[in-house]
Chains A and B, each alone.
Chain A
Amino acid sequence: MIENLELLIDVCLLTFLLLIVFAAIKTTNLFVATMLFGIFSFVTALLFLDLDAVDVAFTEAAVGAGFTTVLMLSALRLTGAFENVKHRHSVLGLFIVVLTGAALIYGVADFPNMGDANAPVHLHIAPEYIQLTQEKIDIPNVVTAVLASFRGYDTFGETVVIFSAGAAVLLLLGMGHAEPKHEPEQNLVLWVVVKPFIALILIFGLYVQFHGDFGAGGGFQAGVIFASGFILYSLVFGESYARQVVPASILPRFAALGVIIYGLTGLVSLLSDKTFLDYNALSSNPVSGQHLGILLVEAGVGLAVFSTVLLIFYSFSGVNHNE
C-alpha cells in the first residue's frame, strides 16, 4: 500500500511537470515561461523529496527554484524582451527528439524496477558507503560524507565549476554598479517585515552550513541561502546600500579564497604523505580528522558559493556593464 502511495505521489508530480513544460513550450510570453520554469524547479524539488533525496531537494529548491528564477528575471529585465511570438516547427528537430526518446525507452527496458532493493546499484558500493560512514567518519548524513570525503575530489571540481561560472559572468558582464537614482520605492510594510527576516535568513544559512553533517544541508545550500539574504536586502532597500555592505569588488576574491581553502585542506595531507584530501592526516584521531576536514571543506564551498552567487546577482542587476 505504502509503495503504491509513494508511486502515486510520484506519478502525480511527474504529470504536473509534464503539464508545466507543455505550458512553457506553448506560451509566447517569456515572463510566463520563466515563472513556469521556477514552478518546474520547485515541483522537481518536491519529487526529489518524495524519492528520499533530501539534500538534492534542498539544493534544487534553493538553487533551481530560487536563484535561477531570480537570475532569469534579472536577465529579462536587462534584455527587455518579454514577447516571443514566433513558433517554428522543425521536422528535423522533432526527428532528433523522437530518436533520442526511442533510444532512451529502448535503454530503460532492461532497468530493474524502480525501488527494487536488489538492483545492482544498491548492492555494490552504496552499502559500503553507509557502513564506512558509520565506522570511519561517524556523521549521520551519508550524503555529506560521500560528498565531502569519499568523492571530495568531485566536490572540489564542483566548487571550481561555480567559481568558473562567476569568472565567466564577470568576463561577460562586469561587476556593474548600482544606479544611484534608481532607489526602490519606499514601502513600509516590506521594510518592517523584511528586516528581521534577513537576520533570520542569515542565521538559517549558518545553521544549514554547520548542520550539514547531521541533516540535509551543507556548503552549497548554505551559500545560496546566505546570498539570498543579501539579494533580498538589495531588492528591498536598494542595490547601492547592498553594495556598501558587501562591495562587489571583494566578491571575486572571496570566491577564489573559497576554492583555495578547499584546495589547501586537500594539500595539507600531502605534508604527512597521505593522498590529496585524506582528512585522516588533519588530526591524530582519524575520525576527528574527518570531521575537521569536512568542516573546512564545507566552509570553502560555502564561501565560494555565497560570493559567486552574490557576484552573479550584482553582475546581472547592475548597470553599464560594457564600457
Chain B
Amino acid sequence: MIISILSDICLLLGGILTLTGAVGLLRLPDFYSRLHAASVTESLAAPLLIIGVILDTGFTLDSAKLVLIIVIMVIVNPTITHALCRAAAHGRISPEMESETEFSGKESK
C-alpha cells in the first residue's frame, strides 16, 4: 500500500518535472539555458519515473534492467550535455545575456 503510494508520488513528481523541463525548453531564451532545462528532465525526471515503475512492478529481473538504465542515464546524460555545450561553444554560439526572448534563436545557424 505504502509502496504503491510512493510509486504514485514518484511518477507524479517525474511527470511534473518533465513538464517543467518542456516548458523551460520552450520559454528560455538561448541555447545554454535551454540545455539546462532539458537536463532537468534527463537527470531527475527520468530516474524518478523509472523508480516509480520499479516500485510498482516489484523486484524482478526487469527492474534490475531498469536500475541499469538509471545508472547509464546518470552517467551518459551529463556527458551528452557537456558535449553539446562544447559543440555549441565551438560553433560560436554565444550565451544571451539580455533577457529578451527569441524563439528561433541563433543556434539554427
Contacts and interface: CB of A to CB of B under 8 A. Distances in A.
Direct A–B contact in complex, judged by CB atoms less than 8 Å apart: yes
A18 B83 CA distance: 30
B79 A32 contact: no
A32 B83 contact: no
Contacts of B27: none
A187 interface: yes
Given A185-B90, A197-B76, A190 B108 contact: no
B96 to A, nearest CB: 20
A29 B90 CA distance: 20
B82 interface: yes
B107 to A, nearest CB: 10
B103 to A, nearest CB: 13
A197 B74 CA distance: 13
Given A29-B108, A31-B108, A32-B108, A190 B79 contact: yes
A31 B91 CA distance: 14
Given A193-B76, A193-B79, A197-B76, A187 B108 contact: no
Interface string A169-194: 00000000000000001010110011
Chain A contact surface mostly? helix
A314 to B, nearest CB: 22
Contact of A187 (B75, B76, B86): B86
Interface residues on B, range: under 10
Interface residues on A, range: 10 to 19
Contacts of A31: 108
Interface of B: 75-76, 79, 82-83, 86, 90, 108
Given A32-B108, A187-B83, 16 more contacts: A29-B108, A31-B108, A185-B86, A185-B90, A187-B86, A189-B79, A189-B82, A189-B83, A190-B79, A190-B83, A193-B75, A193-B76, A193-B79, A194-B79, A197-B75, A197-B76
Shortest Cβ-Cβ A-B pairs, 6 listed: A193-B79, A189-B82, A29-B108, A190-B83, A189-B79, A193-B75
Interface of A: 29, 31-32, 185, 187, 189-190, 193-194, 197
19 contacts: A29-B108, A31-B108, A32-B108, A185-B86, A185-B90, A187-B83, A187-B86, A189-B79, A189-B82, A189-B83, A190-B79, A190-B82, A190-B83, A193-B75, A193-B76, A193-B79, A194-B79, A197-B75, A197-B76
